[in-house]
Homo-oligomer: A and B are copies of this chain.
């Protein structure tokens, strides 16, 4: 199944992860050769700036100025793409590499979310591997866990903490009782958040990853456009404090479910019960839960980003390829993935947390309570607490289980109310 000739790799992108892949292959060379049954050797590299000091001797590799040429590099068996971006050079490289009959390994969740089906079809047609363990949850082997480890199961639900930046921010808000904007600024200063943090904090990055997980878990076509994504921007310190008082943590959770109703995919801040494993995922860690009809609940946790963990996932893919242990990227032939309609979230039944920032005046509570009653939302608990420096008051409600549609109706009734200072926040409670 394997041969003793090394697997030869062309590497596109020498940023943090690209450099990490080279450092890993250097550091663990002998071990990897033993495990893979053959060596794994980088033969060619390409990046924007040849002269930049990366602390790596690049003279041993063939330098290629135009990254597109890696697809036809005569010495390479596999191309590793670490330049990112859903389209542009990354997509061009992916298409031409697979068309040239070479394997392709990528950490590019955005490209897979948008073009995964096309690329998987191309890889299968060419009979070459397309692998992307590093695209979801960094170093955690969760693509493998779903594609292979849980393969015997019908998966009802897959969900998890898929963005380390958001989890870092929420953990820090929780530990220090601080508000979002302040913690984000600090995370940016420390390099834990991008200068333009929107992809992370608005849930887009997690949505990319969720769409990949859903496809593998359910055997459905990747459907990124159907992921409803809301990030952590509107979570305030008081939400985290109220949640804690009620026995919950606030986490940005991506949830995908497959059912009679269609395919449901959503990234949203959730209240997570303190006895759920996701409640103990702190800092920049990632974690994924898969619920199978025979295995029950599987839980995977680890580092979701960073040089070492991401390089670990990229090289794990290369080892699989070197061993000849690969098959259809989405666990089954791309042509057999089903097109599911988007599930109507209004049908979902859950308990929910609602927080209103209100004016400190007579009749506000009556107005909120009336809107809930009129929409048929049953209130389990209501807490009105304190007065902030700006004179506003927090009202936090936990509803009984009921359809999301009713809660949406209640919020619709309250839209534009003079009693509310700013937008209410709704968070489902993870059940």
Contacts and interface: CB of A to CB of B under 8 A. Distances in A.
Interface of A: 1-2, 20, 24, 27-28, 31-32, 34-37, 133, 139-141, 144-145, 148-154, 219, 277, 280, 292-303, 308-309, 311-316, 318-320, 323-328, 331-333, 336
B280 A27 contact: no
Contacts of A27: 154, 293-294
A199 to B, nearest CB: 23
Contact of A28 (B141, B154, B327): B154
Contacts of A314: 152
Contact of A299 (B133, B295, B302): B302
Given A28-B294, A151-B320, 11 more contacts: A20-B294, A28-B153, A37-B328, A141-B298, A144-B148, A152-B313, A277-B301, A296-B302, A298-B302, A299-B300, A325-B326
22 contacts: A27-B154, A27-B293, A28-B293, A34-B336, A35-B219, A37-B327, A37-B333, A139-B294, A140-B298, A141-B148, A148-B316, A152-B319, A277-B280, A277-B301, A294-B312, A295-B303, A295-B312, A296-B309, A297-B303, A299-B299, A299-B301, A325-B327
A292 B326 CA distance: 23
A331 B32 CA distance: 10
A324 B325 CA distance: 7
A152 B332 contact: no
A139 B154 CA distance: 14
A37 B124 CA distance: 13
Given A277-B280, A316-B148, A316-B149, A308 B295 contact: yes
